[in-house]
A and B are shown apart, each in its own frame.
Chain A
């Protein structure tokens, strides 16, 4: 089988592992089209099975704290203001001031022009500043504009960049162009972590999700991310499962762990815990850390905090008894 994943020449080196696969456009196409297919009935069945896991008591409390620490607290509205971002940053640092043991979230995620405000508000907190870039959410612009967009975000203090995959190029089979663009953005990122948004809702199937995942990993994505949050369906459990299998296989081949970010449509603690179960059982418990798994969400944090209080206090808390950004 041409797709059997074999260890690369230099584990951990993007350019070393799978150098043959990315040598030219034809090789890249052969590699991606040679990946094992995904049977949609089977992947959805496994997702449904994993959704039946019953997470109670101390394992639930641990899950809630894990989920909070994995959130990229996000605001991506045209109406965003510095005030809104500062409010979000305050919540990111101390999500529930009545319960100081609640961990801070992983990052605050904003548009590039507000990255500076976020960086200022989060200084010294350990909470990262993530910015979407590359003509988010559609990715419809020139390479130069996308790189400039990225540069603006990085120079404003973003330490994580959420770029969008060029779906137009991907769907027309121009994998080389997609690859080159990710490599170019990665270069502009410098030390900033690069998350590549696949926008799985526009890819049209699980085989394409697997190919896009591998394409992004080959090009140097630190994290592969499901969605922009602007398109539905977004982070469905089967899609996340396929992406978790991709990073697991990447690790098996290279010894290097890359991350997954589930974004879009995750609003409740129940949704989040189901994703954590999949992370635990599909990729493995090593991925249960904010370095390797993230939630992109705006309203999820509120429900996690309420569920957390319920676990501790034994009763539900009204939403207005917890501060919300």
Chain B
């Protein structure tokens, strides 16, 4: 019997959206010197708010404020005192979770189910976790008295705006550093609300500065002479530019860049859960995930059955209004990103892969792309090599575990991988050979503040989260 779910939209008014937002420098919201930008709701392409941006002088002021705060207040402050501020911020993020979730969904286009159940709770969990470290750094195995680095310049992407802000701010502040944060051009709003929360928590001026703007502001931040450390999450191309710029300066650097992760499904996998995991791996957050499982490597002996189950499961995904609580796949964050996905998918067609698209209807307006699967993909094709950063899965097959590993590693990236088998020894054998910073076994896209996250090769270096993640923010 057909049973349609009625629309169940979360109220947009919960976001407490303001008409204008401004940069946060030295404890105050100020008019930036840059040209204001308009941030859009990608589900409607309507303007959400006007956001003031920083210019070079603002970057100077922010770095100077962060330096003063580091030297006079935050650096010398006992860890137990710093922890109090962080716990307060973490708690308010949790208390205002609903507001932040709706705001994130409006600005980013991700489904409210994900911002509500993943982004915001994980962000507050990261802040809580690192608040707990602030007075225990001497016990982190990094020496008896590790020292902070100083001023951190952090540039973050648009796919998990608040979560990435928390990933940078949590460990940086817990370790005694001060931060100049540049949120993404298309998703600046939640980071500015986080600044508001920090101010309300009484965080001393200058400890956290938030400078909205486009790539030029990001370049001004990471290129500033007054930094001791740069933490960047974004594209491999920009990451390489930053590394060139910082080479020889003594400024520390961690990079979390792109990926083209393999999800390896052996024939002895828990099939139904592997199907769910592959779906979560590539369609979570519209595939705008650096560690997305964008390459499915399925053993040839189960290919037919697995693909049948996978297509049926993808057909159940609900694409549409990100504010609808039943939406599984929301809007593509920006027009340029949608264009890129369309182009790369066309390249898949041109190179001879077979495209299959979910029959789920798309909204009439807004930026959407249907869940798409390419089969018959070969290692040489662009859809197997380039990061699409969209809801597009490339399916390859393998015959033996060695072939699976060889194909999984045949990429310049090395961020994440998934391994699906009920046989523990095979999972461990594979994990030891897959070149990826994060390996999930019988699950995918799970994030926990206690677990280090990061890649190698063209996926970057440095770890975020857990005890090891502290090393990136300490002079140990």
Contact = CB atoms under 8 A, between A and B. Distances in A.
Interface string A263-283: 000000000000010001100
B16 interface: no
A288 to B, nearest CB: 4
Given A52-B113, A56-B8, A62 B3 contact: yes
Contacts of B117: 52
A39 B442 contact: yes
Contact of A285 (B3, B277, B308, B443): B3
Interface residues of A, number: 33
Given A1-B267, A4-B305, A37-B422, A285 B272 contact: no
Contact of B443 (A41, A54, A276): A41
B443 A52 contact: no
B326 A54 contact: yes
Contacts of A285: 1-3
A303 B302 CA distance: 45
B3 A1 contact: no
User: Which secondary structure dominates chain A's binding surface?
Assistant: helix
Nearest to B116: A52
B3 A66 contact: yes
Interface string B267-309: 1111111101100000000000000000000000110010010
A245 B270 CA distance: 12
B4 to A, nearest CB: 6
A61 B5 CA distance: 11
B225 to A, nearest CB: 47
B272 A38 contact: yes
Interface in A1-60: 1, 4-5, 36-39, 41-43, 45-46, 52-60
B325 interface: yes
A299 interface: no
Contacts of B3: 59, 62-63, 66, 276, 280, 285, 288
B4 A59 contact: yes
B183 to A, nearest CB: 28
B442 A4 contact: no
A45 B276 contact: yes
A289 interface: yes
B316 interface: yes
Contact of B270 (A42, A45, A286, A289): A42
B417 to A, nearest CB: 17
B6 interface: yes
A273 to B, nearest CB: 10
Counting contact residues on chain B (CB < 8 A from A), the size range is: 20 to 34
A68 to B, nearest CB: 13
Contacts of A276: 3
Contacts of B442: 39, 41-42
B276 A46 contact: yes
Interface in A275-316: 276, 280-281, 285-286, 288-289
A42 B4 contact: no
B5 A53 contact: yes
A59 B325 CA distance: 14
Contact of B272 (A5, A41, A54, A245): A245
B24 to A, nearest CB: 34
Contact of A5 (B5, B6, B268, B305): B305
A286 B3 CA distance: 10
Given A58-B6, A285-B2, A42 B326 contact: no
Contacts, number: 82
Contacts of B305: 1, 4-5
Interface in B399-455: 422, 442-443
Contacts of A59: 3-6
A45 B276 CA distance: 9
A42 B276 contact: yes
Contacts of A38: 270, 272-273
Contact of B5 (A1, A46, A55): A55
Contacts of A58: 6
A38 B2 CA distance: 28
Interface string B318-333: 0000000110000000
A94 B291 CA distance: 55
A5 B271 CA distance: 12
Interface in B100-127: 113, 117
A43 B272 contact: yes
B273 A42 contact: yes
A244 to B, nearest CB: 10
Contact of B1 (A39, A41, A52, A289): A289
Nearest to B270: A39
Contacts of A252: 308
Given A1-B302, A36-B269, A285-B1, A60 B276 contact: no
B370 to A, nearest CB: 18
B1 A66 contact: yes
Contacts of A60: 6
A39 B301 contact: no
Contact of A53 (B1, B269, B326): B326
A52 B270 contact: no
A52 to B, nearest CB: 6
Contact of B273 (A1, A39, A56, A289): A39
Given A37-B422, A53-B326, A42 B113 contact: no
A37 B426 CA distance: 15
Which one of A54, A276, A285, A286 has the highest number of Cβ atoms from chain B below 10 Å of its Cβ? A54
Contacts of B272: 36, 38, 42-43, 245
A104 B5 CA distance: 24
A235 B3 CA distance: 22
Given A1-B267, A288-B1, A54 B277 contact: no
Nearest to A59: B6
Interface string B124-168: 000000000000000000000000000000000000000000000
Contacts of B5: 53-55, 59
A289 B6 CA distance: 20
A206 to B, nearest CB: 9
A43 B269 CA distance: 13
B325 A54 contact: yes
Contacts of B6: 55-60
The 4 closest A-B pairs by CB, nearest first: A42-B273, A54-B8, A39-B270, A54-B325
Interface of B: 1-8, 113, 117, 267-274, 276-277, 301-302, 305, 308, 316, 325-326, 422, 442-443
Given A54-B5, A289-B1, 14 more contacts: A1-B301, A38-B273, A42-B272, A42-B277, A42-B443, A43-B272, A43-B273, A45-B443, A54-B8, A54-B326, A56-B6, A66-B1, A285-B1, A286-B1
24 contacts: A1-B301, A36-B268, A36-B270, A38-B270, A39-B422, A39-B443, A41-B273, A41-B443, A42-B270, A42-B274, A43-B272, A45-B276, A46-B273, A54-B325, A55-B5, A56-B6, A57-B6, A59-B6, A62-B3, A63-B3, A66-B1, A285-B1, A285-B3, A289-B1
